[in-house]
Chains A and B, each alone.
Chain A
Amino acid sequence: MTFLEDLLNDLPTLVERMRHHDVRHVSLKNETGAIALTVTATPCQTAHGAPAVTVEDIPVLSPEMGRFRQNGLSIGQTVRTGDIIGFIETGALRLPVTATTNGTLGPAEIGDNSPVGYHDVLFRIHQDA
């Protein structure tokens, strides 16, 4: 198989991983070909009738003081433990914020690009039953 065919086969995985890590653009090339991928914001996956997120739900804390960056996720989206659901920029570093449980994501408690304190609550996740 050619490089391009390989890549096209892996495209769904690649796009998913780009979304996961908030990578918006990738260019790849070798002697046989080249490809450039640009990913737009994650499509909305809100499920109808998703349970309302309440304060008893599992909080997701900011790992550091910094600036909060959303990852294009929406309220009601299904997340699994370890999924990257946002980022904290602290100086040159970009720290991932990961889901602490499997469940349904509540609204971000902090606006995109807003300052956030150490261990501030960023999201709450309604745990799967």
Chain B
Amino acid sequence: MHEPHRVLIANRGEIALRITRACRLLGLHSIGIHSEADARLAHLRLVDETICIGPAAASHSYLDAARVLRAAELTNADIIHPGYGFLSENADFAAAVEQSGRILAGPTAAIMRLMGDKISAKQQMRRSGVPCLPGTEDALPTDLSEAQAICDAIDYPLIVKAAGGGGGRGMRVVMAAADLRDAIETAREEAGRAFGNPSVYAERFLQHPRHIEIQVLADRQGNAVWLGARDCSIQRRHQKLIEEAPAIGIDPQAIAELGERCAKACTLMGYTGAGTFEFLYEDGAFSFIEMNTRLQVEHPVTEMTTGIDIVREQLLIAMGQPLSFTQADVRTEGHAIECRINAEDPVSFRPAPGKVLNWRAPGGPGVRVDTHLYDGYVVPPNYDSLIAKLIVHGTDRTDALNRMHAALSEMQITGIATTTPLHLRLMNEPGVREGSVSVHYLEALMRKSAP
């Protein structure tokens, strides 16, 4: 029997390096692709084969499904690991990979489509017993009076969202019934323009929720496990900045029940690979927002607390192997925190690409750095600004916060601006020390301290 073993890493930066490490651990033949701007990426020294797939622009390299597939054909790759971002949640790409007879480290194209549409995803969650926000079952009817009646029943404040959307576009918060019609019309128009699908739906709007998510792993044999919860509430403009595991201040029994439901939902829909169920948590209740059908940036905090190498498991699942452990084997220990180090101005968050003159990694017990940085590395302006993830693991949350502060102080990146000073400051902020802040915490704090 032909065993798949040539893995094409369809990504760049720290995550490409992370996947390369997992390939090497498993003795798999790794293939690194890169754009013309990325010929000196760290993982390209470690992979077995490299190929330049196109010019610097992501649309002509990492986002170009045809080029990535051609690279897979040229290099005889039989597994494609998409990482996060780029093509990782593109159902058309997943379908093309399947049609070419290759395996994508992730769920099938059909599942990606099901979870990619907010309305069908919510319907699937309701069927599986995963808690959702009170809201419409389907897209709002085009008749505004009918839509008004439905929304009045949900009650206000509510949010009108694009079915095919994300990133805040095609989204309107409606505080009172009188504002509904305008909101629906503008959201429809935006959604049509941005996503080619004017369908919108409505759901209850939570004012001060926390962002809590459940990591799952599911194999091709129908086994699914959940690996604990993460709290990713410290965000700016829907971009996570700090993530941690476990989520504190929430009844562990309630999280366990939620986790079980997520794992069951995976089995019911035939999900395969790693995935994340994202929830808003307010007043003791979880509400499903969306499922990420891929590896996430913040996966290391779960790895640190469970001891499970999620990327290794993804590759084993792609190779057709059953999970080597059951839910009963999953234990979480201590507390882990991740700080995203971005090449950005720590106040304005404007991207700050350029040459890294000196890079000194922090170390010591419980410190992990996932990064593609090295002395002289040039951060290109073409891509996401994430340049490093600093992860610490402590015996408890206070220990982890202290270790993070020490590691941040020890870490040195010169030549470009990074978010490190902001993280250093946040480690001493009363809100962060205490924990359980809402998704609006960071923006409120930045507003307060703005000159």
Contact = CB atoms under 8 A, between A and B. Distances in A.
A, B: real partners: yes
A117 B70 contact: no
Q: Which of A117, A119, A120 has the most CB of B within 10 A?
A: A117
Interface of A: 65-67, 90-91, 115, 117-120
A119 B74 contact: no
Given A65-B53, A120-B52, A115 B75 contact: yes
Interface of B: 36, 50-55, 67, 70-71, 74-75
Contacts of B70: 65-66, 90-91
A118 B52 contact: yes
Given A65-B53, A118-B55, 4 more contacts: A65-B52, A65-B67, A117-B53, A118-B36
Given A90-B70, A115-B75, A65 B51 contact: yes
A65 B55 contact: no
Contacts of A117: 50-53
Contacts of A91: 70
A91 B64 CA distance: 15
B6 to A, nearest CB: 13
Contacts of B50: 117
A117 B68 CA distance: 12
A91 B67 CA distance: 10
B32 to A, nearest CB: 11
Contacts of B71: 65
A115 B73 CA distance: 9
A91 B71 CA distance: 11
Ranked nearest first, the 9 interchain pairs of A and B with the lowest CB-CB distance are A117-B52, A115-B74, A117-B51, A118-B52, A118-B54, A65-B53, A119-B36, A118-B53, A115-B75
Q: Which of B51, B67, B74, B75 has the most CB of A within 10 A?
A: B74
B52 A119 contact: yes
A49 to B, nearest CB: 36
